[in-house]
Amino acid sequence: MNWREASVLITGGTGSFGNKFVEIMLERFHPRRLVVFSRDELKQSEMMARFKDPSLRFFVGDVRDKERLERAMHGIDVVIHAAALKQIPSCEYNPFEAILTNVIGVKNVIDAAIDQGVSRVMAISTDKAVNPINLYGATKLCAEKLAVQGNAYGHARSTIFSVVRYGNVIGSRGSVIPLFVEQKRTGTVTVTDPAMTRFWIRLEDGVAFAVRCTELMRGGEIFVPKIPSMRIVDLVEAVAPGCRVDVIGIRPGEKLHEILISEDESRQAVEFDDMFVVEPIYPSWPFQIWEGGKRAGAAFRYSSDTNDRWLSASEMQDLARG
């Protein structure tokens, strides 16, 4: 696809992902029009001051409001759907709000995109959506299912939907890294379980992966990058070296290890050099299977504790600085 000729809209455009997406789009791809859709007018005004580009537009709106989405998507070719409530404790305490934004919001994006003739919609997901044990993960699982199945309605009208799913983002708001940096001042860092592992990806790499997959998408697949894991104790050593570690016990809704592809998805997973593509189960729309990759096969599991790529403390320090 030719980004220079495309009108692009990003929901949740004032968040960490949205800011980096706008930066990369304006620096490297130069779309004809780039629309930031979000609820926060203050953050939008800050972005206006930061990015002075004639192609950039701002829409104050909420993904819960389908009519506003339809207005914003008029004339749009590509939608990147990044809007979500993602704080696990907040979603547990406010479950109705999480569902309205993370589930109903996705339905609204799908309906508005089809009705407005958008060509491609890429939804941003998370490893928390795989075998979820908290409400945030459950809403993102629902969002993935809705996006994939949206092709049953959109494909005939030339609107296709796909998903990008990856792990924790280095440098994003709400990450554990800023917490450890803040705790470093006290000399003590709290860890829920020293055996814990997580997938990690740089914010810039996550955005670049989403852009690339938007170019590759056929409609209905879930794209999963091959990214490194890290033990939480090594993360502490990277960002708060020399601090005392206080083990406080695993929190409700928190996993010891995260999974990016479960055994139940393994039959649909195709492995390539730097990513996996999880194909839809029994698509009811014309779907072209992915050739040239290796079928993962039954019982495959892409988990943070059995990964073959691991970050050392020094590597994480370099990534965090970069």
* 275 in Cβ contact with 223 (< 8 Å): yes
Instruction: Tell me how far apart the alpha carbons of residues 304 and 316 are, in angstroms, rounded to a whole number.
Output: 16
- The per-residue pLDDT for 319 is 82
For the record, the structure tokens of 312 come out as: 């050392």
Q: Looking at residues 193-203, what average pLDDT do you find? A: 95
DSSP string of 97-128?
A: HHHIIIIIHHHHHHHHHHHTT-SEEEEEEEGG
Q: Looking at residues 123-128, what average pLDDT do you find? A: 97
- The per-residue pLDDT for 174 is 66
User: In the 8-state DSSP scheme, what is residue 264?
Assistant: G
Selected catalytic residue, list 128, 226, 255, 294: 128
Assigned fold of 3-233+253-321? Rossmann fold (3.40.50)
Q: Is 128 a catalytic residue?
A: yes
> Of 81, 80, 83, 68, which Cα lies nearest the Cα of 31?
80
- The per-residue pLDDT for 67 is 98
Q: Is residue 138 helix, strand or coil?
A: helix
Q: Looking at residues 61-83, what average pLDDT do you find? A: 98
Q: Looking at residues 262-275, what average pLDDT do you find? A: 96
Rg (alpha carbons) of the chain, rounded to whole number: 19
Please give the share of the chain, as a percent, with pLDDT higher than 70.
99
Q: Looking at residues 273-300, what average pLDDT do you find? A: 94
* Interior angle at CA 166, CA 265 and CA 213, nearest 5: 90
For the record, the structure tokens of 247 come out as: 């083990």
- The per-residue pLDDT for 175 is 74
Q: Looking at residues 254-277, what average pLDDT do you find? A: 96
Please give the share of the chain, as a percent, with pLDDT higher than 90.
86
Q: Looking at residues 148-167, what average pLDDT do you find? A: 97
Neighbouring C-beta atoms of residue 94, cutoff 10 Å: 15
Q: Is the pLDDT of residue 8 over 90?
A: yes
- The per-residue pLDDT for 318 is 85
Q: Is the pLDDT of residue 4 over 70?
A: yes
- Decide the pairing of beta strands 302-303 and 259-261: antiparallel
Instruction: Tell me how far apart the alpha carbons of residues 110 and 151 are, in angstroms, rounded to a whole number.
Output: 9
Instruction: Tell me how far apart the alpha carbons of residues 270 and 282 are, in angstroms, rounded to a whole number.
Output: 16
Q: Is the pLDDT of residue 322 over 70?
A: no
User: Domain boundaries in the chain?
Assistant: 3-233+253-321
Mean pLDDT of the chain: 95
Q: Looking at residues 63-76, what average pLDDT do you find? A: 98
Q: Is the pLDDT of residue 294 over 90?
A: yes
